[in-house]
């Protein structure tokens, strides 16, 4: 696969856990690229396949050419099985101003269309926030469908549109996302089956309950500067500490407008924040403080050995922008099965590879 807008690597990790092999990853953010490179080194030491064959390129996609991608990846036209990526989604998010194409980040989707038409992969995966479906009363989404189905004359992809809730796939967080999958062979991709069920009072195919904040943070030590990385947080004034301490689970702080997590439910969506602020974590469910970038990464299902390069604000932006690896796995596994007729790695194998077994303890 070739990965665009790779960010902190959540989608790449998930797709590789399913069975794809990354050969090229790129992002304009140097900290994200350094994260991918450091992750590759860590995976080597752990004898895991992540990023082992991938060339990581720090570049502005506006100047990225298909000839460069082919040369750097060692692939030829017709050899790319999957083009994956999600152009920056803040322009379409319901949490933002929803400027859509008026936002320069919304225009980056044009570069995805361009490279899709030039690279001509056998399949593609386009990820974005569910707000893409309704911005400009659905006109942006309909335009995206047309452009993705026919990125250039004579090139047609059969599309499958999947709206998925991350919590259904073992992620201890509510996160609503849209995945558009295209197949050059005209094959459709179905929604992956959930691995947990939403209603704790109903047994559904013997599935376990939704994974909660308690599951996500299980076994994680108190914040420290040693292990795992990215596990130090903001310093709060005594006034803020006292205010956070008085809050109830799931209550929103009127000053910072962030929520207090509840151990018994999935996390609220991990968000990025503004370009100026760099993003904030939610409030810890027990301690009167905001969660650390590592705790947010736990709720996104990143392994503890995956280190985010940069200061705290750089780390939380990489975490908040990412596709949860377990959600990426679910989509990747379905694409392997439906488009390529290849048996993906099992969910249990993916849990082990991504160091997420704490989410499903024996007997839990």
Q: Which active-site residues does the annotation give? A: 89
- Cβ-proximal residues to 337 (8 Å cutoff; 6+ apart), any chain: 343, 344
Q: Please name the residue that has the structure tokens 């130090």.
A: 232
Residues 315 and 111: their CA atoms lie apart, in Å, by 26
Residues 170 and 153: their CA atoms lie apart, in Å, by 40
- Residue 145: what are its φ and ψ, rounded to 5°? -60, -45
Confirm if 121 and 155 have CB atoms less than 8 A apart: no
């Amino acid at each position: 696969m070739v990965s665009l807008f790779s960010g902190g690597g959540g989608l790449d990790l998930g797709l590789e856990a399913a069975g794809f092999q990354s050969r090229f990853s790129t992002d304009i953010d140097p900290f994200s690229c350094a994260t991918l490179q450091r992750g590759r080194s860590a995976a080597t030491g752990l004898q895991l396949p992540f990023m082992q064959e991938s060339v990581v390129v720090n570049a502005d996609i506006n100047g990225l050419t298909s000839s460069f991608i082919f040369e750097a990846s060692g692939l030829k036209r017709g050899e790319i099985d999957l083009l994956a990526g999600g152009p920056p989604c803040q322009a379409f998010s319901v949490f933002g101003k929803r400027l859509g194409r008026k936002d320069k980040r919304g225009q980056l989707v044009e570069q995805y269309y361009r490279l899709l038409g030039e690279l001509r992969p056998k399949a593609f995966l386009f990820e974005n926030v569910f707000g893409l479906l309704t911005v400009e009363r659905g006109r942006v989404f309909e335009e995206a469908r047309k452009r993705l189905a026919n990125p250039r004359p004579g090139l047609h992809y059969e599309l499958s549109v999947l709206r998925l809730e991350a919590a259904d796939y073992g992620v201890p967080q509510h996160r609503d996302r849209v995945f558009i999958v295209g197949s050059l062979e005209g094959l459709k991709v179905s929604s992956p089956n959930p691995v947990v069920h939403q209603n704790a009072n109903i047994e559904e195919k013997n599935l376990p309950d939704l994974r909660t904040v308690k599951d996500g943070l299980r076994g994680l030590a108190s914040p420290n500067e040693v292990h795992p990385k990215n596990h130090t947080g903001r310093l709060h004034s005594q006034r803020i500490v006292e205010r956070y301490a008085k809050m109830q689970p799931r209550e929103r702080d009127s000053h910072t407008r962030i929520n207090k997590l509840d151990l018994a439910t999935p996390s609220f969506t991990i968000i990025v924040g503004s370009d100026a602020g760099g993003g904030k974590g939610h409030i810890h469910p027990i301690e009167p403080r905001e969660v650390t970038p590592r705790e947010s990464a736990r709720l996104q299902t990143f392994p503890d050995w995956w280190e985010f390069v940069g200061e705290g604000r750089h780390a939380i932006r990489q975490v908040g922008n990412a596709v949860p690896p377990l959600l990426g796995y679910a989509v990747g596994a379905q694409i392997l099965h439906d488009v390529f007729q290849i048996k993906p790695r099992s969910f249990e194998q993916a849990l082990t590879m991504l160091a997420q077994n704490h989410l499903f303890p024996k007997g839990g």
